[in-house]
Structure 1
Amino acid sequence: MTEAELDYAEVRRAFDHAAAAYDAHAVLQREVCDRLLERLDYTTIQPARVLDVGSGTGYGTAHLRARYPEAELCALDIAPAMLAATRSRFPRPTWTQRALGRLGSAAPRPVELICADMGRLPLAANSCNLVWSSLALQWAQDLTASFRGFHRVLAPGGLLMFATFGPDTLKELRAAFSAIDDAPHVNAFVDLHDIGDMLIDAGFANPVMEMEMLTLTYGDLKALMRDLKGIGAHNAAAARRRGLLGKSAWARLEQAYEATRSEGRLPATFEVVYGHAWAGDKTHLEDGRQVIQFAIGERLRKRGRA
């Protein structure tokens, strides 16, 4: 068992539990989502079907609906409570509203909610034109397998766009915990260059990767830990140490983190990795073999019937 392996049942439980209070703590998540949405301004894609992977409470889903009002929109998340929160953002119109004409000439298209593992997409091949994911891929059980699944469901010429966390995320907290023991207390994150290699291995063309550091500051360590718990982002490493920290261990953790205090505030660094890649023409299999389609001529079809 490695530090990078996650307890996926714990991931689901944590996000289910956090759904009700998630939006109150998700300041960074909204900011990153907004920055990822801005990157769509540089594309001309007009997708017929969009998949939002790790949709959470539906903040990004709502913006995608506004941007692509005619598209079929699917919101996928592993936590049922998160999908319930997404549903509340898209109330179904009543017959009274329709009769009074409050919806205009056509009712907005409903959002399809899918409770599933991002590594096992229950969607047909070539069925989406845009796969979108904002700060969810760090929870993938197998990121390479997830990328292959995204490539499978994307139609030729489709686009994958995402944001995730890189290895320097919560580096202050990781260092402070190292003063207590050697157990993993902060989830491991994949390097930008490795993500690019995974995209190519999955069949994507022309991957573009970017990175920026964002820093939140807190008055004390308890405030940071409340935010992490509030968004369901506490330690889910399979090799984590179970149980709460004792008073002595917590005191040592606070003391270690205090060494980072600057201008009266404690920093929490987040390495945000942005990426996009195209599905290409999909004429090659993942192992590099080319797909060749044969067209049988009318004369041969007639001969086969003779």
Structure 2
Amino acid sequence: MPAAPVTPLVDVRQVRRAFARAAAGYDAAAVLQREIAARMLERLDYVKIQPGAIVDLGCGTGASLAALGERYPHAGIVGVDISEAMLRVGDRQRSRLRWMLPFLRGPKRASLLAADAQTLPLRTGAAGLVWSNLMLHWLADPLAGLREMHRTLEVGGLLMFSTFGPDTLKELRACFSDGYEHTLRFVNMHDYGDMLVECGFADPVMDAERLTVTYPSTDALFSELRRSGSSCAVIGRRRGLMGKQAWQVACAAYEKLRTEGRLPATFEVVYGHAWKVEPRTIGDGRAVIRLDTKRRPLG
């Protein structure tokens, strides 16, 4: 049965603007993003693959490119992101590091590509590993993105990704009562599993964990969200400034959650991986039946 449509109605232009504004200071603010990437890398310890080519989809400033290159030193790596500003910042940082420390040896330099994950300008079967850290929830249609990932992988290739689930920023959502969206509409883990199957992936494995990050104030929370590019980008968000009284009411509601002097913010992290296998149907929908032509003894 096809997966139910669960499009988050993300304004992709707003996503691009938010990350362009955040690009210069992104790495200083993206502590959670780096932690989740490190946990994803640990999961690769249990997977025996040697990809010839890797696509880091939603690479941002490229924090994972070096780690992937060290793990798979013979692989060609392409970093893809929708924000040209993020790619430029990351490329300048890596160029500066190579200039300052020319004696360091490392993996080959990654190629960078500005593109929408839903329409990748990559050939079919180009990659043995598609890696995507905290990108799927920024897509207007995550199912379309997963289809592109499936197309981009070679048969036998692996998709590994992380994204945020519905409990993410639940405290923040609960504090507003103005009828507007204040966070993205995060997709359920099981819906992602259904999408993977619909796209043709085999053996999808999904799991989730909840991380709680604490802040001294609501201002500190919103500042970190802005600096990491994580502002609200849904179509139904408030376009103008919120009134002072409504803002004070929301902040007062959040203050009631203060524990040991800190305000909590939940992040539900969804992890998934799946394999691309030989197709069971061809383009017109007919099933593929493989015949064993070896002679077998009768009886």
TM-score normalised to the size of structure 2? Answer: 0.89
Partner of 1:83: 87
Which residue of 275, 278, 282 maps to 2:279? Answer: 282
1:29 and 2:47 equivalent?
A: no
Instruction: Give the aligned residue type for 1:151.
Output: H
Instruction: Give the aligned residue type for 1:235.
Output: C
Which residue of 177, 199, 202 maps to 2:199? Answer: 202
The one-character-per-residue Cα deviations of 1:33-86 (angstroms, maximum 9, x if unpaired) are: 100110001011110000000001111112111111111100000000111122
Provide the secondary structure at the position in 2 that maps to 1:257.
Answer: helix
C-alpha root-mean-square deviation of aligned residues, in Å?
A: 2.2
**Based on CA coordinates, which of the two structures has the bigger radius of gyration?**
1
Partner of 2:128: 129
| CA distance 1:219–1:77, shift in 2 (3 Å) | same
Unaligned runs of 5+ in 2: 1-5, 291-299
Unaligned runs of 5+ in 1: 294-306
Partner of 2:108: 109
Partner of 1:56: 60
Provide the secondary structure at the position in 2 that maps to 1:75.
Answer: strand
Within a 5 Å distance, the mapping from 1:1-306 to structure 2 comes to 4-91=8-95, 102=103, 108-178=107-177, 181-285=178-282, 289-291=286-288
Partner of 2:297: none
Give the CA deviation at 1:288. Answer: 5.6
Structure 2 Cα separation of the partners of residues 117 and 49 of structure 1: 19
- Structure 1 segments (4+ residues) deviating >4 Å: 285-288
Instruction: Give the aligned residue type for 2:281.
Output: H
Structure 1 Cα separation of the partners of residues 7 and 80 of structure 2: 26
Instruction: Give the aligned residue type for 2:169.
Output: L
Report sequence identity in percent: 52
Provide the secondary structure at the position in 1 that maps to 2:281.
Answer: coil
The one-character-per-residue Cα deviations of 1:105-145 (angstroms, maximum 9, x if unpaired) are: xx842211110000001100111000000111110111111
How many residues are paired up? Answer: 283
Give the CA deviation at 1:285. Answer: 4.4
The one-character-per-residue Cα deviations of 1:140-161 (angstroms, maximum 9, x if unpaired) are: 1111111111111100100000
Structure 2 Cα separation of the partners of residues 170 and 286 of structure 1: 41
Task: Tell whether the 8 Å contact from 2:7 to 2:141 is kept in structure 1 after alignment.
Answer: no
Give the CA deviation at 1:247. Answer: 1.7
Structure 1 Cα separation of the partners of residues 93 and 150 of structure 2: 29
